[in-house]
Amino acid sequence: MREDLSPSSPHPRDGELLLSVVVPCKNEEAVVSQTHQRLVGVLEQMPLDFEVIYVDDGSSDSTLEVLRELHHSDDRVRIVRLSRNFGQQVALTAGLQHASGDAVVIIDADLQDPPEVIPEMVAHWREGYQVAYGLRTDREGETAFKLWTAKLFYLLIDRISNIQIPLDTGDFRLMDRQVVEALLAMPERDRFLRGMISWLGFRQVAVPYRRAPRTGGHTHYNLFSMLYFALDGIASFSVVPLKLATWLGFSASGLALILVMRSLFYRLFTNNWDRGWTALFVAILFMGGVQLVCLGIIGEYVGRAYGESKRRPLYIVQERLGFEKKKPLEAKHTAVS
């Protein structure tokens, strides 16, 4: 049983602490070796034991071969190979479920989030904070379109969500073991981790940093991926779209009633009335559009409920390396319990 690491009790001696670092990878052959070098360079300067868990999320390049070489040369490297690409949020969850640390850091493999920030996060953890999340003060190398859409997304979700999600934050953060276990107890499949961690509460602190350009490779988030990710965040933490569908229906019905009353007035009290098919055609298109929008919103929520009801494993592990000395719970590695 782990010792209590809450703010009211001191941490055990440094040698007894283990820090896990989870790094999801998909087609990162161009940068993962450099990422490991910088990570280890930072972690070895800290008076902590550590492990680095790389999650290969269905890479189609030589990322896995590079990770195997890192594992053979460094016994602190663990590899979790998923059977296919399940998405970054699920890959992060897989890494968290394999992590054994008293605290766990999650960081991307592209070095946009600098490993040099980790010691500051650990320092806050020692002070009693249970979550230390990276706050982006600057985002170098990103297009104006991406910066604008990201800002719009965070403002939107902050307004419509029933929880407060810090602006300009990503998944780069440190979490205490208590927070990790609480997070893994949340069973939803459409995972938006930064929102889920905010929902958990606990004592959290921001760690400002400048986000760097990618060191190598290319981003895996195109416009479609970003839109889907934004939809996940909104649908997971707000029912405002459903309320919007209701109000769209009321608004369309009210507008239709006004137009009917207008037509009746002109027909009964004037010599003019609406003629031709144009007004009818526009009205049909308007009502049909509103109905399809509302059905789409409702269908999005129904589809998520259907996905949850199937109870499939969250992910499938094809291979593990570096866990031979451990005895992990198999059930935790295939689905969120």
Taking residue 309's Cβ as centre, other Cβ atoms within 10 Å add up to 8
State the chain's mean pLDDT as an integer. Answer: 76
- The string of pLDDT tens digits covering residues 278-314 is 566 666 766 676 776 777 777 767 766 666 666 778 8
Q: Do 68 and 141 form a contact (C-beta atoms < 8 A)?
A: no
Question: At residue 3, what is the residue type?
Answer: E
Q: What pLDDT is attached to residue 314?
A: 80
Q: Which band of pLDDT confidence, cut at 50, 70 and 90, is reported for residue 164?
A: confident
Q: What pLDDT is attached to residue 104?
A: 95
Element (H, E) at 191: none
Strands (E), the chain: 18-25, 49-56, 77-82, 103-106, 131-139, 169-176, 204-211, 317-321
- Fold for 14-222+312-334, please state it: Spore Coat Polysaccharide Biosynthesis Protein SpsA; Chain A (3.90.550)
Taking residue 137's Cβ as centre, other Cβ atoms within 10 Å add up to 11
Nearest-angstrom CA–CA distance, 271 and 15: 93
Q: What pLDDT is attached to residue 312?
A: 75
Q: What pLDDT is attached to residue 149?
A: 64
User: Which string of DSSP letters, residue by residue, matches 131-175?
Assistant: EEEEEEEEETT--HHHHHHHHHHHHHHHHHSSS-PPTTEEEEEEE
- Two tokens, residue 197: 């961690």
When pLDDT is averaged across residues 232-257 and rounded to a whole number, the result is 64
By mean pLDDT, which of 27-36, 214-223, 232-241, 303-312 is the weakest? 214-223
Q: Is the pLDDT of residue 32 over 70?
A: yes
The CA dihedral of 196, 310, 239, 244, to the nearest 10 degrees, is: 140
Q: What pLDDT is attached to residue 247?
A: 67
Highest mean pLDDT among 58-62, 128-132, 257-261: 128-132
The CA dihedral of 219, 213, 195, 203, to the nearest 10 degrees, is: 150
The vertex-79 CA angle with 78 and 83, nearest 5°, equals: 160
Nearest-angstrom CA–CA distance, 112 and 216: 10
Torsions phi, psi for 24 (to 5 deg): -75, 140
* SS3 (DSSP) at 61: coil
Q: What pLDDT is attached to residue 41?
A: 92
Q: What pLDDT is attached to residue 276?
A: 57
By mean pLDDT, which of 133-137, 178-182, 300-304 is the weakest? 300-304
Q: What pLDDT is attached to residue 137?
A: 80
User: Which of the pair, 215 or 318, is modelled with greater confidence?
Assistant: 318
Q: Which band of pLDDT confidence, cut at 50, 70 and 90, is reported for residue 136?
A: confident
Instruction: Give pTM, 2 decimals.
Output: 0.68
Q: Which band of pLDDT confidence, cut at 50, 70 and 90, is reported for residue 119?
A: very high
Q: What pLDDT is attached to residue 40?
A: 92
- The string of pLDDT tens digits covering residues 52-77 is 999 998 888 889 999 999 999 988 99
* SS3 (DSSP) at 78: strand
User: Which of the pair, 12 or 264, is modelled with greater confidence?
Assistant: 264
By mean pLDDT, which of 103-112, 195-204, 235-244 is the weakest? 235-244
Q: Is the pLDDT of residue 2 over 50?
A: no
